[in-house]
Structure 1
Protein backbone atom coordinates (compact mmCIF):
# COMPACT_ATOMS: atom_id res chain seq x y z
CA UNK A 1 0.00 0.00 0.00
CA UNK A 2 1.37 3.41 -0.98
CA UNK A 3 1.80 5.93 1.83
CA UNK A 4 2.03 9.69 1.53
CA UNK A 5 3.65 11.34 4.55
CA UNK A 6 4.76 14.76 5.76
CA UNK A 7 7.54 14.37 8.31
CA UNK A 8 8.88 17.17 10.50
CA UNK A 9 12.24 16.44 12.12
CA UNK A 10 13.52 18.67 14.93
CA UNK A 11 16.83 18.74 16.75
CA UNK A 12 20.28 19.45 15.34
CA UNK A 13 19.28 18.81 11.73
CA UNK A 14 20.44 21.86 9.78
CA UNK A 15 24.02 22.48 8.69
CA UNK A 16 25.01 18.84 9.29
CA UNK A 17 24.25 17.24 5.89
CA UNK A 18 20.79 16.11 6.93
CA UNK A 19 19.02 16.99 3.66
CA UNK A 20 21.68 15.26 1.54
CA UNK A 21 21.55 12.22 3.86
CA UNK A 22 17.74 12.12 3.63
CA UNK A 23 17.85 12.27 -0.17
CA UNK A 24 20.44 9.48 -0.28
CA UNK A 25 18.41 7.21 2.03
CA UNK A 26 15.18 7.93 0.10
CA UNK A 27 16.86 7.00 -3.17
CA UNK A 28 18.20 3.77 -1.65
CA UNK A 29 14.64 2.83 -0.68
CA UNK A 30 13.13 3.91 -4.03
CA UNK A 31 11.03 6.69 -2.47
CA UNK A 32 10.02 9.97 -4.09
CA UNK A 33 9.30 13.39 -2.64
CA UNK A 34 11.46 16.17 -1.25
CA UNK A 35 13.26 17.54 1.81
CA UNK A 36 13.82 21.16 2.89
CA UNK A 37 15.01 23.24 5.82
CA UNK A 38 12.40 25.25 7.68
CA UNK A 39 12.96 28.66 9.27
CA UNK A 40 12.36 27.25 12.77
CA UNK A 41 15.47 25.05 12.49
CA UNK A 42 13.61 21.83 11.68
CA UNK A 43 13.65 19.80 8.47
CA UNK A 44 10.48 18.95 6.54
CA UNK A 45 10.25 15.77 4.48
CA UNK A 46 7.46 14.92 2.05
CA UNK A 47 7.69 11.28 1.02
CA UNK A 48 5.74 8.79 -1.07
CA UNK A 49 6.28 5.05 -1.23
CA UNK A 50 5.29 1.61 -0.10
CA UNK A 51 5.01 1.02 3.64
CA UNK A 52 7.77 -1.60 3.58
CA UNK A 53 10.09 0.97 1.96
CA UNK A 54 9.13 3.81 4.28
CA UNK A 55 9.71 1.92 7.56
CA UNK A 56 13.50 1.51 7.12
CA UNK A 57 13.68 5.05 5.72
CA UNK A 58 12.09 6.43 8.90
CA UNK A 59 14.52 4.44 11.05
CA UNK A 60 17.45 5.89 9.12
CA UNK A 61 16.04 9.44 9.39
CA UNK A 62 15.67 9.01 13.14
CA UNK A 63 19.30 7.84 13.41
CA UNK A 64 20.53 10.85 11.40
CA UNK A 65 23.64 11.24 9.27
CA UNK A 66 26.29 11.13 11.98
CA UNK A 67 27.76 12.43 15.19
CA UNK A 68 27.12 16.11 14.43
CA UNK A 69 23.36 15.68 14.04
CA UNK A 70 20.81 14.81 16.68
CA UNK A 71 17.11 14.09 16.17
CA UNK A 72 14.97 15.18 19.12
CA UNK A 73 11.50 14.64 17.68
CA UNK A 74 9.79 13.35 14.56
CA UNK A 75 6.19 14.28 13.74
CA UNK A 76 4.55 12.20 11.00
CA UNK A 77 1.32 13.23 9.28
CA UNK A 78 -0.46 11.39 6.48
CA UNK A 79 -1.17 13.70 3.55
CA UNK A 80 -3.05 13.65 0.26
CA UNK A 81 -1.44 11.85 -2.70
CA UNK A 82 1.02 13.88 -4.73
CA UNK A 83 3.05 13.30 -7.88
CA UNK A 84 6.85 13.18 -7.94
CA UNK A 85 9.43 11.45 -10.13
CA UNK A 86 12.44 11.62 -7.80
CA UNK A 87 13.52 12.76 -4.35
CA UNK A 88 14.66 16.39 -4.40
CA UNK A 89 16.43 18.72 -2.02
CA UNK A 90 14.52 22.00 -1.89
CA UNK A 91 16.14 25.25 -0.77
Structure 2
Protein backbone atom coordinates (compact mmCIF):
# COMPACT_ATOMS: atom_id res chain seq x y z
CA UNK A 1 0.00 0.00 0.00
CA UNK A 2 1.37 3.44 -0.95
CA UNK A 3 1.90 6.05 1.79
CA UNK A 4 -0.78 8.31 0.25
CA UNK A 5 -4.03 7.10 -1.31
CA UNK A 6 -4.12 8.26 -4.97
CA UNK A 7 -6.96 10.73 -4.34
CA UNK A 8 -5.30 12.47 -1.37
CA UNK A 9 -4.31 16.05 -2.26
CA UNK A 10 -0.58 16.70 -1.98
CA UNK A 11 1.50 19.84 -2.46
CA UNK A 12 5.22 19.36 -3.06
CA UNK A 13 8.22 21.62 -3.69
CA UNK A 14 10.72 20.33 -6.27
CA UNK A 15 14.27 21.51 -6.92
CA UNK A 16 15.73 20.00 -10.09
CA UNK A 17 19.44 20.19 -10.94
CA UNK A 18 21.50 19.15 -13.95
CA UNK A 19 21.24 20.46 -17.50
CA UNK A 20 17.69 21.71 -17.00
CA UNK A 21 17.81 25.23 -18.41
CA UNK A 22 17.86 26.07 -22.10
CA UNK A 23 16.25 22.71 -22.96
CA UNK A 24 12.56 23.59 -22.62
CA UNK A 25 12.26 22.02 -19.17
CA UNK A 26 9.77 24.59 -17.81
CA UNK A 27 7.54 24.41 -20.87
CA UNK A 28 7.52 20.63 -20.96
CA UNK A 29 6.81 20.45 -17.22
CA UNK A 30 3.95 22.91 -17.66
CA UNK A 31 2.44 20.72 -20.38
CA UNK A 32 2.86 17.55 -18.31
CA UNK A 33 1.41 19.13 -15.14
CA UNK A 34 -1.60 20.43 -17.04
CA UNK A 35 -2.08 17.01 -18.69
CA UNK A 36 -2.10 15.44 -15.21
CA UNK A 37 -4.58 18.05 -13.90
CA UNK A 38 -2.14 19.59 -11.42
CA UNK A 39 -1.90 23.17 -10.21
CA UNK A 40 1.16 25.19 -9.22
CA UNK A 41 4.13 26.77 -10.99
CA UNK A 42 7.64 26.19 -12.33
CA UNK A 43 10.57 28.63 -12.78
CA UNK A 44 14.27 28.77 -13.53
CA UNK A 45 16.65 29.81 -10.76
CA UNK A 46 19.74 31.91 -11.34
CA UNK A 47 21.88 29.08 -9.91
CA UNK A 48 20.97 26.94 -12.96
CA UNK A 49 18.34 24.79 -11.25
CA UNK A 50 14.60 24.60 -11.88
CA UNK A 51 12.12 25.01 -9.01
CA UNK A 52 8.47 24.00 -8.95
CA UNK A 53 5.52 23.71 -6.60
CA UNK A 54 2.92 21.15 -7.65
CA UNK A 55 -0.43 20.40 -6.08
CA UNK A 56 -3.17 17.88 -6.78
CA UNK A 57 -4.12 14.23 -6.33
CA UNK A 58 -1.27 12.16 -4.85
CA UNK A 59 -1.09 9.82 -7.84
CA UNK A 60 -0.73 12.72 -10.29
CA UNK A 61 1.86 14.50 -8.10
CA UNK A 62 3.92 11.30 -7.88
CA UNK A 63 3.63 10.87 -11.68
CA UNK A 64 4.96 14.40 -12.25
CA UNK A 65 7.84 13.81 -9.81
CA UNK A 66 8.78 10.70 -11.80
CA UNK A 67 8.58 12.73 -15.02
CA UNK A 68 10.79 15.41 -13.40
CA UNK A 69 13.50 12.80 -12.79
CA UNK A 70 13.69 12.28 -16.60
CA UNK A 71 12.64 15.68 -17.98
CA UNK A 72 12.40 16.47 -21.69
CA UNK A 73 14.67 14.69 -24.17
CA UNK A 74 17.41 17.37 -24.20
CA UNK A 75 17.65 17.60 -20.40
CA UNK A 76 20.08 15.77 -18.14
CA UNK A 77 18.59 15.56 -14.66
CA UNK A 78 21.14 14.98 -11.90
CA UNK A 79 18.85 15.30 -8.88
CA UNK A 80 15.28 16.08 -7.86
CA UNK A 81 14.89 17.16 -4.23
CA UNK A 82 11.29 16.89 -3.07
CA UNK A 83 9.87 18.57 0.02
CA UNK A 84 6.50 19.48 1.47
CA UNK A 85 4.89 22.75 0.41
CA UNK A 86 1.69 24.68 0.96
CA UNK A 87 -0.47 26.88 -1.17
CA UNK A 88 -3.56 27.02 -3.31
CA UNK A 89 -3.17 27.63 -7.03
CA UNK A 90 -5.35 28.08 -10.08
CA UNK A 91 -3.92 26.26 -13.06
CA UNK A 92 -0.23 25.54 -13.64
CA UNK A 93 2.05 28.28 -14.95
CA UNK A 94 5.67 28.97 -15.81
CA UNK A 95 7.09 31.89 -13.83
CA UNK A 96 9.95 34.32 -14.31
CA UNK A 97 13.51 33.41 -13.28
CA UNK A 98 14.53 34.32 -9.73
- Give the TM-score category using the shorter length: over 0.9
**1:56 is the counterpart of 2:63:** yes
Compute the displacement of 1:22 (Å). Answer: 0.4
Query: What TM-score do the two structures reach when normalised by structure 1?
Result: 0.94
For residues 56 and 7 of structure 1, what CA distance do their matches in structure 2 show? 13
| Residue of structure 2 equivalent to 1:14 | 21
Gapped regions of structure 2 (runs ≥ 5): 1-7
Structure 1 residue runs without a partner (length 5+): none
Within-5 A mapping of 1:27-46 = 27-46=34-53
Partner of 2:78: 72
Q: What is the aligned residue count?
A: 89
Secondary structure, counterpart of 1:54 in structure 2: helix
Structure with the greater alpha carbon radius of gyration: 2
Moved over 4 A (4+): none
| Alignment TM-score, normalising by the size of structure 2 | 0.87
Secondary structure of the 1:60 match is: helix
Question: Secondary structure at the residue paired with 2:31?
Answer: helix
